[in-house]
Chain A
Amino acid sequence: MVLTGLFSSLTKKSICQYRENGYLTFWITHPEKNMNKTIITVVGKDAVGIIAKVCTYLSNNQINVEDISQTIVQGYFNMMMIVDTGKSTLEFGDMARELERLGVETGVHIRCQREEIFEKMHRI
């Protein structure tokens, strides 16, 4: 994994990491809560600069990354980002489409979903 450019595009407060089942997971967390959170998941063959490309797109569109975790299992790249779209003027649908296209260009599957579906399913 190449993380070049990742941290430079983030403006977040705390960065932590932990190991689970041998996989290194990075967390870039943000203490504040808001209602504009979107979960971006990236799944596919590992390649150089996946995170950088996604983060560049997000930073160009004023979308804040609040949290990232990623693993690589048998050469497959698996990433989840929690982003804040509060300052972005981009429509959700446009963001989802453009990221999907970016994914196709990079050879990975990128998916955007609003956080509530996960929040509702996993929290009482």
Chain B
Amino acid sequence: MINFFEVSETNKMIEHEMLDVRTITLGISLLDCCDSDLDALNAKIYNKITRVAKNLISVGADIEREFGIPIVNKRISVTPIALIGSSACKTPKDFVTIAKTLDRAAKTVGVNFLGGYSALVSKGMTQAEENLIRSIPEALASTEMICSSVNIGSTKTGINMDAVKLMGEIVKETAELTKDQNSLGCAKLVVLCNAPDDNPFMAGAFHGVTEGDAVINVGVSGPGVVKHALESIRGKNFEELCETVKKTAFKVTRVGQLVALEASQRLGIPFGIVDLSLAPTPAVGDSVAEILEEMGLESVGAPGTTAALALLNDQVKKGGVMASSYVGGLSGAFIPISEDQGMVDAVNRGSLTIEKLEAMTSVCSVGLDMIAIPGNTPATTISGIIADEAAIGMINQKTTAVRLIPVIGKDIGDTVEFGGLLGHAPIQAVNTFSCADFINRGGRIPAPIHSFKN
């Protein structure tokens, strides 16, 4: 039988160490909504989302109340819209109408983000996919809840450098169109390599075509819990450090698994995966950077940071895998800047640069995330950064992502406020040497030799 100390431990994690379930994401396939008539397509999309997700918010609230665990976000991901709109949308403007429909559906059901305004162009782009990508700036500027992602490479296909070049321009254009809100549109746009089909986290969530009609994916969190656990073993060796992270990750993930199964059962929608993630928030004590510093780094970015992050990421997976029946998504530690107060502090101290972050992304679950850069950064430089990250993902057979925010009108030394869970960030320096001739070559980078396993 459960005892007093176990109850106290769990409740302390929830009340003082910010243990929460970061998101319940309901994946919905829109493949059966395809229609060559744009109005009919929009109507079908709206109806399907509002029908399938109508109880998502209330079920989430019930689970929160009954288990006493906060569920921070309830979200929806849909089939990449470039596929769904391909026969109805002849221009980028046509795609924008779908974005607005998705936004309306998201507001009706009450979720705070809807992902899947996406195109998967890791090898080539159809006309529809190019139209969707070109519609992204206007779609993000004219909606509130929509998140967009573009997969521009994979270990199996190599990197689509035409798409990389285009995405540099799209990121800049999105920043321009949303400059009144500190270029906030870019916080809802992520460029991925090896994008997973079942990622519950925004902005990269979409419902892959390999998925069923609807699925429940859950993303857990808990950097504060790991940090607190490590406080009790200061000065101990790596064996103890790793064991502690692993055990803590197990406990955190068990809560995610419980919530996922409950949500799945109550909504009558199959359970997909639990994403084993340490997802920070701007709140004090909910930081991945603080975990790394607790391990013994003076400030994140110091030598040893990549090793510390690699260890953390691996132990989180080892602990989490046993705690959940299905694991997927991004799974690992997230290292965004604006969403993690410890990272912001490290940047302000001068210990953390984009180059060090790039190294860190080769051992953790995502990539260059929520990094504010000068608004005058050339599009080709953004493409160059995207290409670098994609190369890390392609060669290491892992997901990488880039979510840069070139804040129009701001430069190094300024700070930008995005609000809420998106936090605030100092503008970080970008290498000013040009890569324009490299990016302008066009074409594809071939798949690496180790991808040929057949």
Q: Which of A's residues lie within 8 Å of B, judged by CB? A: 25, 29, 39, 41, 67, 69, 71, 78, 80, 82, 92-93, 96, 111-122
A92 & B2 in contact (Cβ 8 Å cutoff): no
Given contacts A93-B62, A113-B11, 5 further A-B contacts (CB under 8 A): A25-B4, A114-B66, A116-B67, A117-B68, A119-B2
A114 & B4 in contact (Cβ 8 Å cutoff): no
With a cutoff of 8 Å between Cβ atoms, the chain A residues found around residue B1 in the complex are: 29, 67, 82
Cα distance, A83 to B62, chains bound together (Å)? 19
B258 & A117 in contact (Cβ 8 Å cutoff): yes
A39 & B255 in contact (Cβ 8 Å cutoff): no
With a cutoff of 8 Å between Cβ atoms, the chain B residues found around residue A71 in the complex are: 4
B10 & A93 in contact (Cβ 8 Å cutoff): no
Q: Which of A25, A96, A122 contacts B10 (CB 8 A)?
A: A122
Subset of 14 A-B contacts with CB under 8 Å: A80-B7, A80-B8, A92-B65, A111-B11, A111-B68, A113-B11, A113-B67, A117-B68, A117-B69, A118-B6, A118-B7, A120-B257, A120-B258, A122-B10
* Number of B residues, CB within 8 Å of A: 21
Chain A proximity of B66: nearest CB distance (Å):
5
Cα distance, A67 to B65, chains bound together (Å)? 22
Cα distance, A82 to B3, chains bound together (Å)? 9
Chain A proximity of B107: nearest CB distance (Å):
25
B251 & A113 in contact (Cβ 8 Å cutoff): no
Cα distance, A92 to B68, chains bound together (Å)? 12
Cα distance, A119 to B254, chains bound together (Å)? 10
Chain A proximity of B63: nearest CB distance (Å):
9
Known contacts: A69-B4, A80-B7, A121-B251. The answer to whether A116 contacts B65 by CB under 8 A is no
With a cutoff of 8 Å between Cβ atoms, the chain B residues found around residue A111 in the complex are: 11, 68
Chain B proximity of A32: nearest CB distance (Å):
11
Q: Which of B3, B8, B10, B62 contacts A117 (CB 8 A)?
A: B10
B11 & A120 in contact (Cβ 8 Å cutoff): no
Cα distance, A112 to B11, chains bound together (Å)? 11
Cα distance, A71 to B3, chains bound together (Å)? 13
Residue among A78, A92, A115, A118 with the highest chain B CB neighbour number at 10 A: A118
A69 & B3 in contact (Cβ 8 Å cutoff): yes
With a cutoff of 8 Å between Cβ atoms, the chain A residues found around residue B11 in the complex are: 41, 111, 113
Q: Which residue of chain B has the shortest Cβ distance to A118 in the bound complex?
A: B2
Cα distance, A82 to B2, chains bound together (Å)? 9
Closest 5 CB pairs of A and B: A113-B68, A69-B4, A117-B67, A122-B6, A120-B254
Known contacts: A67-B1, A120-B255. The answer to whether A112 contacts B10 by CB under 8 A is no
Q: Which residue of chain A has the shortest Cβ distance to B7 in the bound complex?
A: A80
With a cutoff of 8 Å between Cβ atoms, the chain B residues found around residue A116 in the complex are: 67, 258
Chain B proximity of A50: nearest CB distance (Å):
16
Residue among A29, A69, A116, A117 with the highest chain B CB neighbour number at 10 A: A117
